[in-house]
Structure 1
Amino acid sequence: MRLRTRKDASTVASPLHVPERTCVGCRGKAPRSQLLRLVLASGPVLEVDARATRPGRGAWIHPDPGCLSLAERRRALGRALRTSAPLDAAPVRRWLEQSPHPAG
């Protein structure tokens, strides 16, 4: 026997799904649009993937120098990017200083 379910007219459509990511610095969750994606370039040097379109593994972080410093202290960037090489975050730090994004 098959059960049939009736669609209730009072059912409200769920809101649009907003992708969330976790900041590797402060471990806070935020919508993807409020975080920066960092990728590993040759060197190994970290680069900002502003459009979040570059292939490969990425790490997400708030556009805040404090979160970058915390991620470096915790060695979270290397873990997120699955590398044991020392990372150069200077390009990201420069980008954050020149960025029009508000901190946090």
Structure 2
Amino acid sequence: MTFASSVELLVRQISHWTPARWRGHADAVRALVQVLADAGADAEGLPRRGVPTLPDTALADQVRVLAADLMAAHPPPDVLERVEADVTALRHALRDS
């Protein structure tokens, strides 16, 4: 599976969640958001920065935007593979919880 398709599956999985569904899961998605931001900064040769904390219901959009930024930075294939593995692991963990 590609990075883009894994991200799209995750976004579809979480984009319709209610605030109640986010309880207990938002921190895991926020951690992935930071991984995406860090990988993007590294690929662009920029310093890493903390990602702003948005409301839980905005996390799907935040994942989508940061994933697009990462892909636009054209990181090495191993970076996309590593981050895709993180996305897939989170998708499965959220599905099983």
Query: TM exceeds 0.5?
Result: no
Which one has a bigger Cα radius of gyration? 1
Choose between structure 1 and 2: higher strand proportion.
1
**TM-score of the pair, normalised by structure 2:** 0.28
**TM-score of the pair, normalised by structure 1:** 0.27
Choose between structure 1 and 2: higher helix proportion.
2
Greater RCO structure (CA 8 Å; 6+ sep): 2
